Amino acid sequence: MAGNPEDDAGFWLRPVWETGDETELEPPGPPRARKAASAPDYDHPLLTPLARAQDAVARLEAKTEAASAVVAEGLRTRLSYLEAAGWLRHAHLWIHPWDLALRDHGATTSYGAAAFGDRLAAVLPATMAQQSGLDEVAPSGTRGLDIAANRALALARMWRRLAELRTWRPLADAGAVQKTLQSLGCRSLEQGVIEDWLGGIYLRERGPDLIRAGRAVLDWRSQPGVEDRDPDGSFLGACLWHEKNRPAPIPLPFWAAPDPHHHRLGLKIGVGWIAEFLECVAAAAIVGLRELVRLQEAEQKGRLLGSTKRSRLPDAVDAVLRAHIVTTGTMAKALDVTPQAACGLLRQLAAAAIVREATGRGSWRAFVCSPDRELSGSC
């Protein structure tokens, strides 16, 4: 359990963003000494990570707003699965984002049933290709994997919902927070505990929104009954940030950061934890920026494809950009065409290196956006 940052009294009496107007907090001494003591602390441990996080998040927001609606939707979808996969890794369960997308689309069966039938490679193709070690797990040990994957997908859906539903207020009151916890599959807390937490985060209105979000997460983690490995704290922090930055084109990323950032976060307490939280946000935003570039490259390639007025290729490119993973069935449903026509469209996109096959199957194949690799495939 992480420590409470308020134990560091010096930090909370003189936050980094304050300029020292509260004279009663100034140390005794001559006027010149008091003025120096009230000046901003440019060596504060939060200044550099805060600047990095604000810069990365601002660039991600600006570039997402400038992108087309199709690319923006596709970015939210892909980042949501990256967030879900990142949380699973934190819980010591490694599932590739592509496989989470396959499960979300109903394209795979139960992991436990597949393990008993020695078919894990069929339902977790990308995960098993990375030699995650799941093939060494006993079938009985995969039962919890289905539960964890469902919780991760719930996190992905709710993360997208923050940006897509402008009227949703997950922090409106204690009842709304309880519903959020239930949707995430987390343990419900007593209403009084939630009300105290809500009162604390709204009492502290001053300061950068990212630091307020980090403090809210840390305060939540210190509540009795909260599990460190649950995704509720980070999601509630994202809700607080989004509430103050509405309408943001994309929710606050966190779990998409590379593993080393989260490993370091687990070793910190207090102000150090807030600093590493900001580093995780910055790293996750950079991951989002890279994914945005990939989607825009694919969009540009799609525009260069020759098509007639009756061609569905432009619509097929849009469908690929919107979804993290597509199959013949999902493409046919999205474009209202026959499976044979959808298969032909996917074959053309694969030949143009806009998509590539992601499952390694001979049939029931799935495709992902891949503008940087010239791979072909058939349905």
Residue 272 pLDDT level (bands cut at 50, 70, 90): very high
Q: What confidence tens digit (pLDDT) does each residue in 217-258 have?
A: 999 998 888 887 889 999 999 999 998 888 889 999 999 999
As a whole number of angstroms, the distance between CA 18 and CA 270 comes to 19
Strand order in the sheet with 355-357: 326-327, 366-369, 355-357
The class that CATH gives domain 305-369 is mainly alpha
Considering all CA atoms of the chain, what is the largest pairwise distance in Å, rounded to the nearest integer? Answer: 84
Is residue 338 pLDDT above 60, yes or no?
A: yes
Cα separation values, 77 from 98, 221, 351, 365, Å: 11, 27, 24, 20
Q: What confidence tens digit (pLDDT) does each residue in 204-218 have?
A: 767 899 999 999 999
Is residue 4 pLDDT above 80, yes or no?
A: no
- The share of the chain scoring above pLDDT 70, in percent, equals 80
Tokens of 50: 């805060």
Is residue 9 pLDDT above 50, yes or no?
A: no
Global model pTM greater than 0.75: yes
pLDDT, the chain, mean: 82
> b/e string for 356-373 if b means 16 or more Cβ within 10 A?
bbbbeeeeebbbbbbbee
Nearest to 177 by CA among 199, 160, 157: 199
Residue ranges of domains in the chain = 47-293, 305-369
Residue 144 pLDDT level (bands cut at 50, 70, 90): confident
pLDDT for 336 = 92
Q: Which single residue is written with the structure tokens 């069935």?
A: 329
Four-point Cα dihedral 286, 252, 292, 185, nearest 10: 110
Is residue 323 pLDDT above 80, yes or no?
A: yes
Amino acid at 204: R
Overall residue count recorded for the chain in this entry = 379
- The share of the chain scoring above pLDDT 90, in percent, equals 50
Nearest to 75 by CA among 253, 280, 350, 321: 321
